[in-house]
Structure 1
Amino acid sequence: MTRLALHSRLIPGTEEAYETEHARVWPELITVMHAAGIKDWSIWRSGRDLFHLVESDDYESAVAYLRDNSTDQRWQQHMSQFVEGFAENPEGVAGQSLRHVWTMSEQTD
């Protein structure tokens, strides 16, 4: 399993509405995400900046799976009223925007 950190930015003035939308994400979307191989997804917000931590078997395969899924397409269209977009990384999809440096629980000594 891999963890991937992503960074996206909200459209000004949509911060509260975005959080309201995530108070309970569509259950059918979570089912689709699990089917795509996504084990967990967390989001933190600081102002308009969103920081995501995605745990998956293979993120690039999951994105390809979701790209063709009608439930995810509807969710992405719905969320486009809040999100400006994700930060780009010239190295490709994996490792987008935030580079993992250290996790305390992974240090053995």
Structure 2
Amino acid sequence: MRIALHTKLKPGAEDEYEGAHREVPPALVAAIRAAGATDWTIWRSGADLFHVIDCESYDLLLERLAGMPVNIAWQARMGGYLDVPHDYSDRDAGLAVVWELNPTESA
């Protein structure tokens, strides 16, 4: 499944947030993959962050990540940059799909 999320940075946190993502711990990357994510991209426009995650199940991904110490530490760090920290309680936080261009199938 693919899910898109929208989060927001605290004013002035853009550079620190981007700097943190230049040094994502390899253990966190491994934990995210082990939890079921196959791809995760974050775009930033000003203080707005847009995430697109490919995973087997978003609920399962959150459930698996919630108790992992490496993720708990990362979320605590990200909480310093985010206007509203991700607390894993809103499982329906995904953005609604409005339109999608799918690859055409060959005839």
Q: Secondary structure at the match of 2:33?
A: helix
Give runs of aligned pairs for residues 15-26 of structure 1, distance below 5 A: 15-26=14-25
Q: Which residue of 2 aligns with 1:101?
A: 98
Q: How far 1:27 moved relative to its partner?
A: 0.7
Unaligned runs of 5+ residues in structure 2 are none
Residues 5 and 97 of structure 1 are in contact (CA less than 8 Å); yes or no, is this contact kept in structure 2?
yes
Q: What TM-score, normalized by structure 1, do the two folds share?
A: 0.85
Unaligned runs of 5+ in 1: none
Bigger share in strand: 1
Name the residue aligned to 1:80: 79
Task: Note if contact 1:7-1:86 (Cα within 8 Å) is conserved in structure 2.
Answer: no
Aligned length: 103
Matching residue's letter, 1:62: L
With the length of structure 2 as denominator, give the TM-score of the two structures.
Answer: 0.86
Which runs of at least 4 in structure 1 moved beyond 4 Å after TM superposition? none
The alpha-carbon deviation at position 86 of structure 1 amounts to 6.3
Identical counterparts, % of pairs: 35
Moved more, 20-29 or 45-54: 20-29
> Which amino acid is 1:74 matched to?
A
Equivalent pair of 1:6/1:86 in contact (CA under 8 Å): no
Code of the residue aligned with 2:33 in structure 1: it is H
CA-based RMSD: 2.0
Judged with a 3 Å threshold, the aligned counterparts in structure 2 of structure 1 residues 56 and 97 are, in CA distance, closer, same or farther, namely: closer
